């Protein structure tokens, strides 16, 4: 069975990936986009959330701590010690190709107008009152935020510096399952996500992730001194043979 080659991030609620857009959208808090105006999740933010998910998963499975360090590096590390490199989480290939064709050869200001239209197609503008240090709304401080629309799925490619072992796949799958929020304003329900591993085959990503996250199969071996279970299936008896004095008497004759 083929191994996953990318991570899928499905947005279950509006997400706020703060950054600079290609042309600016006029919001107080903008969303990060590429040169074509398409929003994406930067790889360092995805890696950081996966690292937090791996730490959470390792808390209940301490034997996976070493695999987590091998996979994503130690806390705060982005150096060469990591086995796994995660790419930017971007929209599908078909969408990116269609936008690139639409923008090809366009001169300004048409190009800028089209880029802003692309960003508007995948985002929405939310407004809210700024909250002060005391937890109360600040009068006259209305702020706007550019958020990604729920229902979008972004995918990030996986690049390995060394062949992963089973424990590396196990902690990566558990890190994906433990990552349920990415982006700003998570306390207000923003950025709820489902993160799953995706392979080149037809297997469902959720099933793939659960399969890789499962512990290894246990082999039941009886403990020395264990009393056999009488209800367990018994081996068939050996074929009957003459033994003892009857057999010896027959040999004498």
DSSP for 188-228 reads GTTTBEEEEEE-SSSS-HHHHHHHHHSPPPPP--PPTTPPP
- pLDDT-above-90 percentage for the chain: 54
Single pTM value for the model: 0.77
pLDDT in tens, 20-77: 676 665 677 888 999 999 999 999 999 999 999 999 999 989 999 999 999 987 765 5
Q: What is the predicted pLDDT for the residue at 232?
A: 56
Q: 32, 42 in Cβ contact below 8 A? A: yes
Place of tokens 């034997």: 63
Torsion of CA 154, 159, 164, 169, to 10 degrees: -10
Q: 161, 84 in Cβ contact below 8 A? A: yes
| pLDDT classification of 193: cutoffs 50, 70, 90 | very high
pLDDT surpasses 90 at 2: no
The strands making up 6-11's β-sheet, listed across from edge to edge, are 84-86, 153-160, 6-11, 193-198
Q: Which residue would you say has higher pLDDT here, 183 or 209?
A: 209
Q: What is the predicted pLDDT for the residue at 28?
A: 73
CA–CA distance from 99 to each of 45, 71, 92, 210 (Å)? 25, 34, 11, 34
Q: Which two tokens stand for residue 49?
A: 């959330």
């Amino acid at each position: 069975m083929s191994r996953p080659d990318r991570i899928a991030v499905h947005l279950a609620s509006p997400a706020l990936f703060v950054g600079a857009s290609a042309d600016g959208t006029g919001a107080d808090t903008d969303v990060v986009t590429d040169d074509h105006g398409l929003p994406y999740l930067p790889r360092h933010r995805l890696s950081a959330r996966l690292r937090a998910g791996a730490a959470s998963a390792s808390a209940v499975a301490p034997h996976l701590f070493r695999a987590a360090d091998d996979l994503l590096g130690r806390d705060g590390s982005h150096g060469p010690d990591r086995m796994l490199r995660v790419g930017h989480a971007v929209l599908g290939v078909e969408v990116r190709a269609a936008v690139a064709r639409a923008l090809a050869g366009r001169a300004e200001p048409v190009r800028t107008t089209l880029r802003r239209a692309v960003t508007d197609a995948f985002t929405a503008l939310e407004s809210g009152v700024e909250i002060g240090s005391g937890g109360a709304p600040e009068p006259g401080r209305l702020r706007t935020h550019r958020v990604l629309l729920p229902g979008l799925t972004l995918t990030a490619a996986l690049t390995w510096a060394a062949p992963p072992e089973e424990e590396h796949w196990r902690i990566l799958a558990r890190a994906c399952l433990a990552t349920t929020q990415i982006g700003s304003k998570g306390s207000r329900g923003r950025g709820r996500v489902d993160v799953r591993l995706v392979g080149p085959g037809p297997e469902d990503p959720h099933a793939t992730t659960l399969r890789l996250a499962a512990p290894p199969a246990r082999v039941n071996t009886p403990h020395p001194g264990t009393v056999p279970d009488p209800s367990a299936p018994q081996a068939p008896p050996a074929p009957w043979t003459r033994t003892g004095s009857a057999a010896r008497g027959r040999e004498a004759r």
